[in-house]
Amino acid sequence: MGSEVKPLRSAQWFEGEALRNFSHRARARQLGLNAEEHIGKPVIAILNTWSGINPCHMHLRERAEQVSRGVWQAGGVPMEFPVSTLSETYQKPTPMMYRNMLAMETEEILRSYPVDGAVLMGGCDKSTPALLMGAASADLPAIFVPAGPMLRGNWRNQKLASGTDMWRFWDDKRAGVIGETEWNEIESGLARSPGTCMTMGTASTMTSAAEALGLTLPGASSIPAVDSAHHRMAAASGMRIVEMVREDLTMSRILSAEAYEDAVTTVLAIGGSTNSLIHLVAMAGRSQLPLSLDDFDRLARTTPVLASVQPAGKYLMEDFYYAGGLRGLFSRLRESLHLDRVTVTGRTFGEELEGAAVFDDDVIRPLDNPVAPEGGLAVLRGNLAPDGAVIKYVAADPALWKHSGPAVVFHGYKDLQQRINSADLEITRDSVIVLAGGGPKGGPGMPEYGMLPIPDKLLKQGVRDMVRVSDARMSGTSYGACVLHVAPEAHVGGPLALVRDGDMVTLDVEARVLSVEVSDDELAKRRSEWTPPESKFERGYGALYYEHITQANEGCDFEFLSRPGTNPEPNAL
């Protein structure tokens, strides 16, 4: 750490005899702060993604008060900043389109205000990577406070899993297995408390990744949102960030190549969301560190799935927490992790695992009895996905891990909605449903269309899974033999744009292959006849997004945000 104390960044604003220093102090008095309350003390920005329309974050207004309490107690000055809320539930066409906007907002708030360190508060899917991407670019001391998963759902003495059971019962309703009465009861029992999805969806996957990176207090990511331990964690995070400022423990000192590799290993061991590939690649890019789809696939070959949490297992996040949580899972992966790297505590990752244990071997499996012997995600390549695609095969019917069938192609989600249940649609359980036009530009924003619906007529025949291929994403709570993130996407001329009805599509998870049985010459002929679509945006953020978004295998970041380089500190005077 060194014996010299680094001057506070905020001192440029508040200390000195220049007119601007006077003005800043006068405005602090306007805020009701006495000089002794803030002069010479670390200013901590609390970036809060609370809003009245985000149920996953509805408790973060209260948690911000607890973070502030911790900051004051440790001798810092808390300043709460409301930032964009990315609600997976409501924001259209998808909050993925706005992840980079929140990342930009995070970076620029930390850069432009008198801030010495930051507490980042989020959890709903895209908010975690957005906050961490922006904070990594700003490179101040920062700690992440996860929103935490909601309580288990309940219906007629059954545990309900948000997302996963919604899809399951929706299929049952369309098949005529349940009726309106049951469906309405499920509506009221599916989401019973504040917090993110209680499955191992994208939210818990990414907060787990944040903990694996060393950016949260130990055990923070598994705590249920309404548990009193969550209140205490928030206050403790507020206390710790003040010490991090004094230690100059910045993001770049924590986010090493080894940290990202451990985050990937964690995602694979928990049976995490496919969305994590996009987000972690983007996050590593902000740290100017290489991370590719091949790294995920390489680690998947040697990392077993240990967490039996839906949709890849049978339990929920509450069960996972009581079974020992992420620290318990880490205790079983010690030999696969880099234990000597530093975390936000100032201690090493290994030191923070002292005393970690598992209390239920069925929820967090031992190494000799995993949920699956290899990580639950597989990266596919072939003439249909030259730059890669991904499948969460542990959440699919194993009978479909190797499958060939004729394509039934839809160009755009509206086309799929209009025709998927047509009585005239020629489709069988052996068909491969293909959606082209759901990618980063084509979606737009790469919406969660990837769990393509099975036609009603096949559901009524008892079909519950089919091979489905798209350049879109799917919810981390979803399941099925869904091949996602096909790159390059159809909208920019990727091979998916060239597939026609009846083409034979082959999926082979073990061989990591996704291909279409069409000759190179025929594909070239079709490409010559293909017309590039026009941009869907004429102005505003949409136009900025369309012009600069990268493909899924590159993290869907903006090129100008991920490129190397630094920006000057603002002149506070």
The residue-averaged pLDDT of 493-501 equals 97
Please tell me whether residues 169 and 235 are part of one structural domain. no
Please tell me whether residues 455 and 398 are part of one structural domain. yes
Please tell me whether residues 393 and 479 are part of one structural domain. yes
DSSP structural state of residue 224 = -
Give yes or no for residue 1 having a pLDDT over 50.
Answer: no
Contacts of 347 (CB under 8 A, 6+ apart): none
Structure confidence at residue 178 (pLDDT): 93
CA pair distance 31, 37, nearest whole angstrom: 12
* Helix residue spans in 141-292 (DSSP H): 164-174, 180-189, 202-213, 228-247, 251-254, 257-269, 275-286
Please tell me whether residues 181 and 199 are part of one structural domain. no
The residue-averaged pLDDT of 102-116 equals 98
Residue where a domain stops, chosen among 190, 212, 238: 190
Between strands 482-484 and 385-392, the pairing is antiparallel
Sign of CA dihedral 392, 397, 400, 405: negative
How far from chain centre, in Å, is Cα 68?
26
How far from chain centre, in Å, is Cα 440?
16
Please tell me whether residues 245 and 205 are part of one structural domain. yes
Specify if 546 maps to a domain: no
Per-residue pLDDT reduced to its tens digit, 201-212: 999 999 999 999
Structure confidence at residue 265 (pLDDT): 98
Q: Structure tokens of 369?
A: 């009895």
CA pair distance 428, 433, nearest whole angstrom: 10
| pLDDT band at residue 554 using 50, 70 and 90 as cut-offs | very high
CA pair distance 173, 534, nearest whole angstrom: 38
Please tell me whether residues 331 and 460 are part of one structural domain. no
CATH of the domain at 500: 3.50.30.80
| Whole-prediction pTM | 0.95
Structure confidence at residue 164 (pLDDT): 86
Specify if 552 maps to a domain: no
Please tell me whether residues 183 and 294 are part of one structural domain. no
Contacts of 119 (CB under 8 A, 6+ apart): 44, 45, 46, 47, 67, 71, 142, 143, 144, 145, 237, 238, 241
Q: What's the structural domain count of the chain? A: 3
Specify if 560 maps to a domain: no
- The DSSP bridge partners found for residue 392 are 377
Please tell me whether residues 233 and 109 are part of one structural domain. yes
Per-residue pLDDT reduced to its tens digit, 446-481: 999 999 999 999 999 999 999 999 999 999 888 899
Please tell me whether residues 182 and 99 are part of one structural domain. no
Specify if 572 maps to a domain: no
Per-residue pLDDT reduced to its tens digit, 352-409: 999 999 999 999 999 999 999 999 899 999 999 999 999 999 999 999 999 999 999 9
Q: Which of 57, 75, 54, 78 is nearest to 66 (CA)?
A: 78
Specify if 366 maps to a domain: no
Give yes or no for residue 2 having a pLDDT over 60.
Answer: no
Please tell me whether residues 162 and 279 are part of one structural domain. no
Q: What is the mean pLDDT of the chain?
A: 95
| pLDDT band at residue 572 using 50, 70 and 90 as cut-offs | confident
Specify if 57 maps to a domain: yes
CA pair distance 377, 392, nearest whole angstrom: 5
Structure confidence at residue 254 (pLDDT): 98
Residue where a domain stops, chosen among 139, 162, 190: 190
Per-residue pLDDT reduced to its tens digit, 315-336: 999 999 999 999 999 999 999 9
The residue-averaged pLDDT of 255-278 equals 97
- The number of residues making up the chain comes to 573
Specify if 84 maps to a domain: yes
Please tell me whether residues 159 and 144 are part of one structural domain. no
Specify if 35 maps to a domain: no
Q: Structure tokens of 66?
A: 């607890």
| pLDDT band at residue 4 using 50, 70 and 90 as cut-offs | low
Please tell me whether residues 108 and 241 are part of one structural domain. yes
The residue-averaged pLDDT of 506-515 equals 97
Task: Write out 436-475 in H/E/C secondary structure.
Answer: ECCCCCCCCCCCCCCCCCCCHHHHCCCCCCCCEEECCCCC
| pLDDT band at residue 215 using 50, 70 and 90 as cut-offs | very high
Calculate what percentage of the chain has a pLDDT beyond 90.
Answer: 93
- Are the C-beta atoms of 110 and 137 separated by less than 8 Å? no
Per-residue pLDDT reduced to its tens digit, 220-250: 999 999 999 999 999 999 999 999 999 999 9
Domain that holds residue 505: 377-529
